[in-house]
Homo-oligomer: A and B are copies of this chain.
Amino acid sequence: MTAIPEEPAWRQRAVERSTRAAKQRAEQRVQRFLDAAQELIAEKGTTDFTVQEVVDRSKQSLRSFYQHFDGKHELLLALFEDALSTSAVEIREATSGAGEPLPRLRIAVEMLFEQSLPNPGVQRPLFSDFALQLLVKHPAQVATAHLPLLTLFTELLEQAAEAGSIHADKPRRLAALVMQTVMFAAQANGVPSDSHAHPVTADEVWQFCLGGISGA
């Protein structure tokens, strides 16, 4: 449609070359923002730091921040996706060793549970804090961010189903259910006031999910 054959290849290459450096610099700046935000999250335990704080800590400027991010929301989203994606990688590694499908699934569930716990000291508040805000306002982006984990769990369920360990009609939906159950159960934990009432353990969650995926 808008193809312009006159556009010589060399020009594209030139532009590309001159662009590459700029892109690198931009990525560095973005990374500095991301790092600063991580630190703040780790320190404060929540995601309600100020954009100004991020800017100050990264020794850059508001101007620059908004040049690289659409807003605080985009920054958090980037961190969130990254965290979930990393988590998926970790769990995948831990479950990639040989072994029966069901025990591997169990490991996955328990890892996800622990990583979703409120404050194991690290920058995990992303799982809880921001995830929930996002769930309300931008569910589509949550779906995207969940994708790596969802894929992983779907695979594990399919493998278990092939091995005949469980019944898995619609592995994808089941995977989604399991993930939600695990993550929110963890979320609702570690809270002083209601922990006396129902401090669910990783094992209980696993038993529950196991029953759920095994079929009644």
Contact = CB atoms under 8 A, between A and B. Distances in A.
Interface residues of A, number: 43
A207 B216 contact: yes
12 contacts: A128-B136, A129-B136, A132-B136, A133-B133, A142-B194, A170-B204, A173-B199, A176-B197, A176-B198, A180-B181, A181-B181, A214-B216
Label chain A's interface by main secondary structure. helix
A207 B215 contact: yes
Given A132-B136, A200-B177, A143 B193 contact: yes
Interface string A179-212: 0110011011001111001111000110111111
Interface in A87-136: 128-129, 132-133, 135-136
Interface of A: 128-129, 132-133, 135-136, 139-140, 142-143, 150, 170, 172-174, 176-177, 180-181, 184-185, 187-188, 191-194, 197-200, 204-205, 207-216
